[in-house]
A and B are shown apart, each in its own frame.
Chain A
Amino acid sequence: MLDQKQVLDRYYLETRCQLVEIAATLDRFDRAESQGEAPQDPRLDQIYASLELLSRSRTSADRSRRLLEMFSDPA
């Protein structure tokens, strides 16, 4: 198993890239307004709610599970 520094060394650039991809997708959505506005869509709220969850640095280490639950239909 990797230590924390090794995790950062190995995954920092990849994570940085994934975050920029998310930013670019949200920018794309905003720019697309000129082509036609989307009706109120819960998927956008889910994306922003998930970003809020990820922005908390001091939280339990089960972010992936909680994120997937957030994107799931109620059981």
Chain B
Amino acid sequence: MQIIQPHYHAIARTAQDYEKMAMSGVVAVAEPAFWAGFDRAYPETFIDYFRQISEFEPTRAAEYGIRHFCWVGVNPKEAENPPLSYEVLKHMPEFFKKPNVLGVGEIGFHKTTKNEEEIFEAQIELAMKYDQLILIHTPHLQDKIRGTKRTLEVLRHMNAPPERVWIDHVEEHTIREPLEQGYWVGFTLYPITKCSPKRAADMLEEYGHERILVNSSADWGPSDPFTLQECVLEYRRRGHSLQEAIEIFHNNPCRFLGQNPKWDIKPIKVETQEAESIETSTV
């Protein structure tokens, strides 16, 4: 089955990931700009990071037949430093011209502070000005409800087009409102501590698959890119068809990311000579 990893931090991972992802059906990854595990001191460090994910990573992924796309942005943690953030923002438009850059992300809230909000708004404005897609990080633990509510308020206030915004890391307590307001949402799967493949399958059964993206955790912390494949398996083992799985794990990323014409991978439909064989084919 062809799979897309819509949220994957390649710079924190080894080539073995690419190799195993390719063997398990991953055809493309999209890499948001994120926190490096420490606060960077210079705008130039961000610029080089953006160069790495927009110029170098596509070549590394291509070795394994995987397409690599990316996003640029100042992550919520480092948005706590507005002078640094504004310097970085000045350089972002030059990256919007790169052939694999899809938009601005991941941006948003970490602790939902005033500084974070100021930089969040500045980045939404920039994205809208340059007609870029927007990828939003929501806080992971006890701050998630507050951060998600404030995210929705900011987006509403700025008239951001909901169909071009992906609100990521939603869980059972934060999924409903963004979906009802027309945004795309994402589940981020972790081996431990956050959303699991089984809970993601539950939410897919409860909310359907319209405007829902599923991505694995894949960063420098405890994470596992193959939680995505675990979720595919869990979903299929519950009796959902191959085509339903393709809609979620391949076609939905194509639908959202394809709003940027640089994303040229199209939704696919399984065709068989006998319809029953769809139900019995392997994941």
Contact = CB atoms under 8 A, between A and B. Distances in A.
Interface of A: 13-14, 16-17, 20-21, 24-25, 27-28, 31
Interface stretch (B99-107, B129-137, B197-205, B240-248): B197-205
Given A31-B205, A31-B206, A21 B198 contact: yes
Contacts of B280: none
A20 B199 contact: yes
Interface stretch (B69-77, B188-196, B210-218): B188-196
B199 A14 contact: no
A31 B141 CA distance: 26
A16 B202 contact: no
A27 B196 contact: no
A21 B107 CA distance: 28
Interface residues of B, number: 11
B279 interface: no
B194 A17 contact: yes
Among B196, B199, B206, the one with the most A-chain Cβ atoms within 10 Å of its Cβ is B199
A71 B175 CA distance: 35
Nearest to A35: B239
Interface in B134-153: 141
Contact of B192 (A14, A24, A25, A31): A14
B177 interface: no
B87 interface: no
B196 to A, nearest CB: 6
Contacts of B202: 24, 27-28, 31
A31 B202 CA distance: 10
Nearest to B239: A35
A7 to B, nearest CB: 16
